[in-house]
């Protein structure tokens, strides 16, 4: 069963505008972590932001913020003031496993969203 | 602080050959994971090593193997290469202990083409 769902196949945004990339997830665990990564055409997976399931506040990292709605199991990425360099694939990922030892942990990724920033 | 380093970046192999990819994690990180990325299957978890022990394994055939050295550097090996093994192989490192809140950082990946 698909655990991370990213349904937007491609997104376009005007430079300097904000954009929201959607991510829904499915898990029966109470403790889990949600990550967003950016992957430019070079292939490197660049960490953007992390949200823990027990974190009370939405995570923010510079121009990136995460709209975390636990009851709806959604973790949408908001990019403010888009820049041309933001054009890339964006992946949402979830980490489950043993939160104490870190054992049996792995990232499950969504299929990704292509973001294109227009000048 | 140096990031995750993967070598080689690009390689072309022939069907039936074997290949070894290398990953040097961020200094101080003891967990190294490997992922395969293909257009059809997306990103799939291969395995994770922590303190030289395989701690978790994905659903891949036995042709895919890995190991971790005492300095946390890791290698993955694919034997008897098939055309379907053509992919971007990504290595990720994290502290790996006291929970998984630790951020997971990826390298630039190794692009493998099997012909």
Q: What is the pLDDT of residues A29-55, one digit of tens each?
A: 888 889 999 999 989 999 999 998 888
Q: Residue A9 above 90 pLDDT?
A: no
Q: Residue B100 above 60 pLDDT?
A: no
Neighboring chain B residues of A30 at a CB cutoff of 8 Å: none
Neighboring chain A residues of B99 at a CB cutoff of 8 Å: 99-102
How confident is residue B99, by pLDDT bands cut at 50, 70 and 90?
low
pLDDT number for residue B46: 97
**A4 touches B at CB < 8 Å:** no
Per-residue pLDDT tens over the stretch B59-77: 999 999 999 999 999 999 9
Whether the Cβ atoms of residue A32 and residue A95 lie closer than 8 Å to each other: yes
pLDDT number for residue A8: 87
Whether the Cβ atoms of residue B46 and residue B109 lie closer than 8 Å to each other: no
* Token pair listed for A117: 């920033």
B84 three-class SS: helix
* Secondary structure element (H or E) that encloses residue B71, with its range: none
Average pLDDT over residues A75-101: 91
DSSP string of B17-41, one letter each residue: --EEEEEEPPTT--EEEEEEEETTT
Which backbone phi and psi does B30 adopt, to 5 degrees? -110, -10
Question: How far away is chain B from the Cα of A19, in angstroms, using its nearest Cα?
Answer: 23
Q: Which of residues 7 through 36 in chain A touch B, CB cutoff 8 A?
A: 33, 35
pLDDT number for residue B97: 66
Average pLDDT over residues B99-112: 83
Share the mean pLDDT of chain A: 91
Q: Residue A100 above 80 pLDDT?
A: no
Give the residue carrying structure tokens 């898990």. Answer: A27
Interface size, chain A vs chain B, as Cβ–Cβ contacts under 8 Å? 77
DSSP string of A36-83, one letter each residue: EEEE-TT---EEEEEEETT-SS--EETTEEEEEETTTTEEEEEE-S--
Nearest residue of chain A to residue B46 (CA atoms): A106
pLDDT number for residue A59: 93
């Amino acid at each position: 069963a698909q655990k991370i769902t990213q349904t937007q196949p491609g997104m376009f945004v005007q430079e300097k505008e904000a954009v929201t990339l959607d991510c829904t997830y499915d898990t029966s665990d109470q403790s889990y972590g949600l990550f967003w990564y950016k992957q430019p055409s070079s292939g490197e997976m660049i960490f953007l932001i992390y949200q823990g399931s027990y974190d009370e506040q939405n995570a923010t990292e510079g121009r990136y913020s995460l709209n975390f709605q636990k009851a709806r199991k959604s973790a949408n990425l908001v990019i403010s003031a888009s820049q041309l360099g933001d054009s890339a694939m964006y992946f949402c990922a979830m980490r489950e496993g043993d939160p104490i030892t870190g054992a049996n942990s792995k990232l499950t990724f969504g299929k990704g969203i292509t973001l294109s920033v227009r000048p | 602080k140096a990031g995750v380093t993967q070598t080689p970046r690009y390689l072309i192999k022939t069907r039936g050959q074997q290949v070894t990819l290398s990953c040097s994690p961020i200094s101080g990180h003891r967990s190294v994971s490997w992922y395969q990325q293909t257009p059809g299957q997306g990103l799939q978890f291969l395995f994770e090593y922590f303190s030289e022990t395989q701690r978790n394994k994905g659903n891949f055939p036995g042709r895919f193997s890995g190991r971790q050295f005492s300095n946390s550097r890791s290698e993955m090996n694919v034997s008897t290469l098939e055309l379907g093994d053509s992919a971007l192989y990504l290595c990720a490192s994290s502290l790996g202990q006291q929970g998984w809140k630790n951020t997971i950082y990826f390298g630039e990946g190794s692009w493998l083409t099997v012909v």
